[in-house]
Structure 1
Amino acid sequence: MSLVIVKYNAGNIQSVLYALERIGVEAVVTDDHEQIRQADKVIFPGVGEASSAMRYLKERGLDEVLKSLQQPVLGICLGMQLMCAYSEENDTPCLGIFPEQVKLFKPAAGSTLKVPQIGWNSIYNLKTDLLKQTAENSYCYFVHGYYAALGDHTIATTDYVQPYSAGLHRDNFYGLQFHPEKSAKVGEQLLKNFLSI
């Protein structure tokens, strides 16, 4: 099986590689259009800022490549947000694979909740094969100030400020707001599930 991690100017690629290594899987990190198109599975990770990431993708034609993929694709954190229609982060039109909008967390006045959300949080209402063998209310590791609203494609929900999408799925595209590569055994299982889809 050939597995590609999309190379673009967003962090956390190294930690995804280490996580895959731990489950005995090798991946190629590339921005080569043909290599991405021919891979059996594609991971689109990301830590960073939406508008500069989208600009980088567009300059290299990677936005069109990603939208055209037919094989299973997994977006992680910023990767998932960029797969949505739009992000409030610097008013950024995104890939539009998912119709959901990405919005800034706005805690109520007097709330002790900090933005960004950093740390462990539970996921529930789990759906699809990506989340099989994952217990309801499992804890996963989150780091983000923006969130994808709940919608028709939500496959996992988390509460922080309000309920929002911890996971999305449409056709061959999957997204996770949290970091499976930093979510211990739960994250390991999710990566294995993705590789078996």
Structure 2
Amino acid sequence: MLHSHLVDEHTALYRLYDGDGSLLYIGITHDPEARWVSHAATKPWWPAVETKSLEWHDTRGAAEAAEARAIATEPTPFNRAGSPWAPGPPQLGEDEVAVADAKKNLSELLTSVRLLRRAYFLTSRGKRQAALVPVELGELVQQAGGPDKAAAILASHVGSQIAHLKAQPGVREDS
């Protein structure tokens, strides 16, 4: 939500460049130093930033318009919203569901987990964040002492099964 005191405040359009002068990111802020501290704490690409430029606008609205034009016409690898160069949504596997989609279809998803005995990974920005699993599996994880202990038990068991199969005559490992 935009605070009303920011609407008429001078706002900077900023551009961030790497050491070769390639444009990395375009944004707006009324406090560039604070914004850059925020980027440094949250953006994995921040260490590549070597040069910054500022273009001040009389109002936030004017800066937003300039930002939209810049993002639409200047290729950057890290701007997503409004950028024609931004990659499309990550391709998800059939057992993966974006968190936003899971929220919209939670009842359907839970029914699939319960009745079809499926497990789904909830993803955000292409990374797995959590899993929805049948209740019995969740209870076994709990009985094992939590996810870390259950994973160790399962890894040990699967590892011994693989070793047993490899030791059988006529079984070869494909590379």
Do both proteins adopt the same fold according to a TM-score greater than 0.5, normalized to the shorter chain?
A: no
More strand by share: 1
Larger Rg: 2
The one of the two structures with greater contact order (alpha-carbon pairs below 8 A, sep at least 6) is: 1
TM-score using structure 1 length: 0.25
TM-score using structure 2 length: 0.28
